[in-house]
Structure 1
Amino acid sequence: MTQRMSLSEINPDAYQAVLGLEKYIRAHVDPALLHLLKLRASILNGCSFCVDMHTTEALAEGESSRKLFAVSAWREGPFFDEKERAALDLTDHVTRLGEHGVPDDVWDTAVRHYGTQGVADLLMVIATINVWNRLAVSTRTQPPTT
């Protein structure tokens, strides 16, 4: 598959705007959780570029490969605590936003674990990775082969 375009070259101002969101979330969300949420949304969206990037970064920062592999089946895996599960559940529902939105029980559980400011930050993470996924999948951006 050949990449269709480089958005950073074609539309650098818009690309920089999305990077602004990225800088915000990196400054406000725990890096280990950030990687898990980005990986989960990227799996749901079928974005190989982002799956590769976020697993590579998480491994380099010390995350276990077993936990990263289990993100694809997080509900059944024993590797996630209740707080991570709440964030992953929110990620699933926001990424697959259906006609009924995010169920109250999912929202309430996330707020119980993270508070309103924390959930606001999680929403920014989920929204940002979904933007990146849609851009990378649409332009057929490929992960490096080495």
Structure 2
Amino acid sequence: MRIDVAALAPEAYKAMLGLERYLRSSGLPTQVVELVKLRASQINGCAYCVHMHSSDMKKAGEPDERIWGVAAWRETPSFSPAERAALALTEEATRLADSAGVSDEAWGEAAKYFDDTQLAALVVAISTINAWNRIAVTTHKEPEA
């Protein structure tokens, strides 16, 4: 690892952990939060976060097929319509530079399954994991054995 952000910027790290505390109490289903975290981490090439979130999902009882299937979620029947909407929104919000932002279609589909409070939490979840990914990738944080 290049540097330890938690040790060198403890207030910033505490603020990030505050976002995680919010997400746990937000009412957004834990499964959705973990799917979002895993998919964004895959897109961003964050080995540390992919390892952590797939391990967390496994410990929470997610079947291997769902964990492995996140990378190809459009082609697998393992995800509910609400989870698919969250994954689509995650992809568009994570790949902002690849398009004109988040499409009305992706937003509208997510809004079919999540109320405004849950949508706000979903936006925070997507934003937070993207920030964690950038910290881990930039500092070369390696997955734990």
Q: TM-score when scaled to structure 2?
A: 0.96
Q: Once the two structures are aligned, what percentage of the paired residues are identical?
A: 43
Unpaired runs of 5+ residues, structure 1, are none
Match of 2:43 in 1: 44
| 1:75 match: secondary structure | helix
Could you report, residue by residue, the CA deviation over 1:44-94 in whole angstroms, capped at 9, with x for unpaired residues? 000000000001111001001110100000011110111100000000000
Q: TM-score when scaled to structure 1?
A: 0.95
Q: Give the residue type in structure 2 aligned to 1:115.
A: D
Matches within 5 A, 1:1-146: 3-28=1-26, 29-98=28-97, 99-145=99-145
Q: Give the residue type in structure 2 aligned to 1:24.
A: Y
CA distance in 2 between partners of 1:45 and 1:26 (Å)? 23
* Cα distance, 1:34 vs structure 2: 1.2
* Cα distance, 1:17 vs structure 2: 0.7
Q: Give the residue type in structure 2 aligned to 1:141.
A: K
Does the CA contact (< 8 Å) of 1:74 and 1:80 recur in 2?
A: yes
| 2:115 match: secondary structure | helix
Could you report, residue by residue, the CA deviation over 1:23-51 in whole angstroms, capped at 9, with x for unpaired residues? 11122121111111100000000000000
Q: Give the residue type in structure 2 aligned to 1:50.
A: C
Runs of 4+ residues over 6 Å off in structure 1 = none
Q: Give the residue type in structure 2 aligned to 1:123.
A: V
CA distance in 1 between partners of 2:31 and 2:115 (Å)? 18
* Cα distance, 1:112 vs structure 2: 1.2
CA distance in 2 between partners of 1:7 and 1:85 (Å)? 33
Unpaired runs of 5+ residues, structure 2, are none
CA distance in 2 between partners of 1:125 and 1:76 (Å)? 24
CA distance in 2 between partners of 1:82 and 1:137 (Å)? 31
* Cα distance, 1:116 vs structure 2: 1.6
